[in-house]
C-alpha cells in the first residue's frame, strides 16, 4: 500500500478529532430531535468539505494557496479557537461558585419576567429554531464550520502526490470527508439500525452531562485550548 494512502487515512482520523465537530455533536445531542439536527449539520459539512476539497485538488494545488493557508490561516485559527476554549473554561469554572449561581439565577429571572411582561419570547431565537428541529439551521452551521483545516489540507496534498485519475481523486476526497465526519455519522447510523438503544444511550449521555458535565466541560476545554494553541504556535514556527 502506498505511503501516501496510509498518510491520507491517518490524517482523516486526525481530522475526525476536530474540537469544533466534537463540540457541535455534544450540543446537538443535548437538543430535542437530535437526529434531524445532526443530519442537517452533516449535510452542510459534506457540502463545504467535499466542494472545497475538490476545488483545491483540481484547481488550487501548486498555486501557493494551499501552502499559505496551511502555514498561516489554519494555525491562526487554531490559536484563536484555543484561546476561546480557555476563556470558556474560565467562565464555566467561575459559574460553579454558589454566589455566582445565585446572581445569575436572579438576573435570569428578572430578564425572563421582563420579556414575559413585554409579550416577547422567553428563549433565544437560535434555541427556538433548534428546538423545533430546524435542520436548515444546522445545515448552515455545519457548512460554515467545515472549511479545510490543517489535517485536511495535508491529506489533499497527499492525494495530489498520488497523481490519481479524476474519478479516483473524487473518491479519495469523498472518503476522507466521510471518515472525518464519523462522530456525526455513527449516532445517525445508530438511529437507523438500533433506534431504541441509540435513544437510551443519548438519554444516559444527557443525564451524565446534567450531573458531571460542567466539570468535564471545564477539563475538556482546558485540554483542547492548550492543544490548539500549541499546535498553532508550532505550525507557525
The pLDDT of residue 30: 78
Query: Is it the case that residue 192 has pLDDT exceeding 50?
Result: yes
- Output the CA angle 79-223-199, nearest 5 degrees: 110
pLDDT tens digits, one per residue of 3-55: 888 888 888 888 887 777 877 887 788 777 789 889 999 999 999 999 999 98
The pLDDT of residue 146: 84
Determine the pLDDT at residue 130.
46
Q: In the predicted model, is pLDDT for residue 63 greater than 60? A: no
pLDDT at 87 over 60: yes
DSSP calls for 180-222: HTHHHHHHHHHHHH-HHHHHHHHHHHHHHHHHHHHHHHHHHHH
Query: 3-state SS of 151-172?
Result: HHHHHHHHHHHHCCCHHHHHHH
Q: Report yes or no on whether pTM surpasses 0.75.
A: no
Per domain, the residue ranges of the chain are 3-230
Cell numbers found for residue 117? 411582561
Amino acid at each position: 500500500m502506498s505511503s501516501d494512502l496510509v498518510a491520507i487515512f491517518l490524517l482523516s482520523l486526525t481530522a475526525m478529532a476536530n474540537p469544533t465537530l466534537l463540540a457541535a455533536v455534544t450540543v446537538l445531542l443535548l437538543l430535542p430531535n437530535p437526529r434531524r439536527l445532526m443530519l442537517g449539520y452533516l449535510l452542510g459539512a459534506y457540502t463545504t468539505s467535499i466542494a472545497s476539497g475538490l476545488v483545491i485538488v483540481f484547481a488550487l494545488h501548486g498555486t501557493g494557496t494551499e501552502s499559505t493557508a496551511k502555514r498561516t490561516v489554519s494555525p491562526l485559527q487554531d490559536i484563536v479557537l484555543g484561546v476561546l476554549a480557555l476563556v470558556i473554561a474560565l467562565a464555566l469554572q467561575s459559574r460553579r461558585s454558589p454566589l455566582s449561581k445565585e446572581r445569575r439565577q436572579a438576573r435570569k429571572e428578572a430578564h425572563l419576567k421582563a420579556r414575559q411582561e413585554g409579550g416577547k419570547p422567553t428563549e433565544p431565537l437560535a434555541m427556538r429554531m433548534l428546538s423545533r428541529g430546524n435542520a436548515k439551521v444546522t445545515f448552515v452551521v455545519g457548512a460554515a464550520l467545515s472549511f479545510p483545516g490543517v489535517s485536511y489540507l495535508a491529506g489533499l496534498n497527499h492525494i495530489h502526490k498520488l497523481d490519481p485519475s479524476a474519478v479516483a481523486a473524487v473518491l479519495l476526497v469523498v472518503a476522507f470527508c466521510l471518515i472525518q465526519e464519523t462522530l456525526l455519522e455513527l449516532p445517525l447510523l445508530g438511529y437507523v439500525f438500533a433506534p431504541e438503544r441509540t435513544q437510551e444511550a443519548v438519554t444516559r449521555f444527557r443525564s451524565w452531562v446534567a450531573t458531571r458535565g460542567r466539570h468535564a466541560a471545564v477539563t475538556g476545554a482546558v485540554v483542547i485550548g492548550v492543544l490548539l494553541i500549541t499546535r498553532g504556535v508550532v505550525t507557525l514556527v
